[in-house]
Structure 1
Amino acid sequence: MRPNHHLDDATVLSYSAGALPTAMNVVASAHLEHCPHCRERLHVAEQIGGTLMQQQRGDAPGQDERNAMLALLDQEPDAAPAPTASAIIADAVEPPDRDRLPTALHPWFGPSMRALKWRRVAPGVQRIRAGGVAGGELMLLRIAPGSRLPLHSHGGTELTMILDGAYDDVLGHFGPGDVADLDGQTLHQPVTAPGVPCVCVAATDAPLVFSGWFARRLQPLFGF
């Protein structure tokens, strides 16, 4: 996995401060396991947190230094260092295990993709809900290849990481390791790629907002 879509700056800062709700924290942790770029941004965010604590003690660095740290956190994904030759060789020799779920998901779903017990909630859509998550929903979704989901926005925040397969929407192409960090302003209609099902882990803090009347009528049945 070499993600191309990353966590929002605000999400990275909240994660570093321990302020993310449980469901969002799980998905962010899963992405960080596979994303060197976001781990570097997290390191910078932790530096920023240390700087703010120093400011409270009256021992803050200069404003220019603080601005430089914020600029580092705000770098675009293509500014991340290119993978080293040794990392590329390692990937070629030891391809990722597609059956293994990210470690952050193990307490909620177990370690194995093959062992999951899916429940059908709509044509072409299967789901597993995590129990005992306060303040939001944490779920795995398995969507059949070539499926077009209803056009929708979000009543709150949604954080989704692709585990296998892919989908496309107005924000681009999302493949394994990519994360969609969405708020209520995003209107999109994911279309899963052909070939294999799209499996993702999603965290939400409010129901989705469907645009079509038919999807809105069926929403209570699906539980989204």
Structure 2
Amino acid sequence: MNPHHHLDASTVVSYAAGALAVEVATVAATHLETCAHCRARVAEAERVGGQLIEHQQPAGIVPDRFADLRAEMLQRLDDAPPAIAAPEPRSAPYEDDDRLPTPLHPYFGSSYRALKWRWMAPGVHCIRAPNTKTGTLLLLKIGPGRSMPVHGHGGTELTQILRGAYHDALGQFAPGDVADLDSDVEHQPVTVPGAACICVSALDAPLRFPGWLARKLQPLFKL
């Protein structure tokens, strides 16, 4: 598996620092299981972050200085040469047709066949992870050739494709790809023909729907 869409640099830094909401971190970890490129970037962020902390003595840093350090880390990641001899992507989470990726097991179990999907809309089913504290974590199964409502984001949306594919203005997203979106993005995913698209999504704020019908239904779907 060779993903074409990766984690944003700011997500990589926040993941390395342990600063992501648990729901977002779970989706990021799902992507990292199969993406050697992003695993190498996380390792580099951890290395750079360790060096910055050693030189800056963080116990006495004021909050504004933390922002400066984060910006410096992002810049150093941009300037760093590509990692040498990055490990090959691990395809194991997708080799067994019935096995969910390991980071999802605490929330959804290990088996696709055991999933208990709930109807959400025509051609759309979901499973919402219980007892989440800082956001929403859910599995989505969207039938082939379906258009989702146009929507924006009140905060972060991180979506990892597990099966099937969809396309939008940002390109086509297939198994292994991650869509790392923020409040500046408005899009309309359309699943490709053939097979249902199954993905896992984390949201740290409600979606924004420009269409009146989707806005009316939003409280029902709790998205």
Cα shift at 1:206: 1.1
For the pair 1:159 / 2:158, whether they are aligned, the reply is: yes
Give the corresponding residue for 2:61. Answer: none
* Matched-pair contact (CA < 8 Å) for 1:98–1:164: no
Cα shift at 1:71: 2.5
1:75-126, Cα deviation, whole Å (9 max, x unpaired): 8xxx788999xx69x97xxx82232111000011011111100000111110
1:159-208, Cα deviation, whole Å (9 max, x unpaired): 00000000000000000011001011101000001111000000001111
In structure 2, give the amino acid aligned to 1:40. A
Give the corresponding residue for 1:47. Answer: 47
In structure 1, give the amino acid aligned to 2:174. G
For the pair 1:71 / 2:78, whether they are aligned, the reply is: yes
Give the corresponding residue for 1:101. Answer: 100
| Distance in structure 1 (CA, Å) of the matches to 2:4 and 2:83 | 10
* Matched-pair contact (CA < 8 Å) for 2:40–2:86: no
3-state SS in 1 of match to 2:201: strand
3-state SS in 1 of match to 2:10: helix
Give the corresponding residue for 1:62. Answer: none
TM superposition score normalised by structure 1: 0.85
* Matched-pair contact (CA < 8 Å) for 1:41–1:72: no
| Distance in structure 2 (CA, Å) of the matches to 1:209 and 1:131 | 23
**What percent of counterpart residues are identical?**
56
Give the corresponding residue for 1:61. Answer: none
In structure 2, give the amino acid aligned to 1:23. E
TM superposition score normalised by structure 2: 0.85
Give the corresponding residue for 2:65. Answer: none
Gap change, CA 1:7 and 1:102, over 3 Å in 2: same
Cα shift at 1:70: 2.0
Listed as ranges, the matches of 1:135-174 within 5 Å are: 135-174=134-173
1:61-81, Cα deviation, whole Å (9 max, x unpaired): xxxxx89842356x8xxx788
| Distance in structure 1 (CA, Å) of the matches to 2:133 and 2:218 | 22
Give the corresponding residue for 1:198. Answer: 197
Q: Please identify runs of 4+ aligned residues in structure 1 that moved more than 3 A.
A: 66-69, 79-84
1:107-147, Cα deviation, whole Å (9 max, x unpaired): 11011111100000111110101111111000000001000
In structure 1, give the amino acid aligned to 2:111. S
In structure 2, give the amino acid aligned to 1:71. D
Give the corresponding residue for 1:13. Answer: 13
3-state SS in 1 of match to 2:139: strand
3-state SS in 2 of match to 1:162: strand
| Distance in structure 2 (CA, Å) of the matches to 1:194 and 1:81 | 38
In structure 1, give the amino acid aligned to 2:78. A
In structure 2, give the amino acid aligned to 1:52. L
Provide the aligned length of Structure 1 versus Structure 2: 207
Q: CA RMSD, aligned part only?
A: 2.5
Give the corresponding residue for 1:37. Answer: 37
| Distance in structure 1 (CA, Å) of the matches to 2:54 and 2:86 | 34
| Distance in structure 1 (CA, Å) of the matches to 2:111 and 2:10 | 31
Gap change, CA 1:67 and 1:115, over 3 Å in 2: closer
Gap change, CA 1:144 and 1:99, over 3 Å in 2: same
Gaps of 5+ in 1: 59-65
Gap change, CA 1:83 and 1:15, over 3 Å in 2: closer
3-state SS in 1 of match to 2:96: coil
Gap change, CA 1:81 and 1:144, over 3 Å in 2: farther
| Distance in structure 2 (CA, Å) of the matches to 1:96 and 1:69 | 36
Instruction: Name whichever of 189-198 and 205-214 sits farther off.
Output: 205-214
